[in-house]
Amino acid sequence: MLYKLNISRIQEQVAMLRTCHAMASQLQIRNQGMMERFALERAVHLAVECMIDIGNTIIDDFIMRDPGGYLDIVDIMEDEQVIDPSVGSVWKQWILLRDRLVRHYTEVQIDELAAFTEQYQVMIQFDHQVQSFLQAEREKGNIE
């Protein structure tokens, strides 16, 4: 079956994810001030949004099962072998942190952000795994 995949949208989202990675790699939150903390909070938030959007695009365009929420997107991506469970487990932690940044931003502790800076390489793993999945689907003739 040939799927109509919005590759340009995915590539835009991947480009922003790479920008978030670049920013996170420069920010070491424990020894920085308020501006750096705000920058890291925004990088975390945007990185998770990018991963969610990429997941949603893949799920929608490949007509996979409908997710019930953000955490379900991760489960579907794992079940469909787009990402490895090791990436999925970190992504789930980030989704919970994203929720705190959006809804309970006054309660986010510096240690939560520091944990993100210790795991930010998962963004690159996610990117590589998505690209590998898309390449495999191209080779199978499932996408243009």
Question: Among positive and negative, which fits the CA dihedral 93, 98, 104, 110?
Answer: positive
- Give catalytic status of residue 98 as yes or no: yes
Q: Is 63 left (phi over 0), alpha (psi -120 to 50) or beta?
A: left
Tell me which amino acid residue 64 is. M
Active-site entry in 30, 42, 65, 98:
98
Instruction: State the Cα–Cα distance between residues 120 and 122, nearest whole angstrom.
Output: 5
Q: What is the 3-state secondary structure (H, E, C) of 32-100?
A: CCHHHHHHHHHHHHHHHHHHHHHHHHHHHHCCCCCCCCHHHHHHHHHHCCCCCHHHHHHHHHHHHHHHH
**What are 10's two structure tokens?**
């995915």
Q: Which residues are catalytic?
A: 98
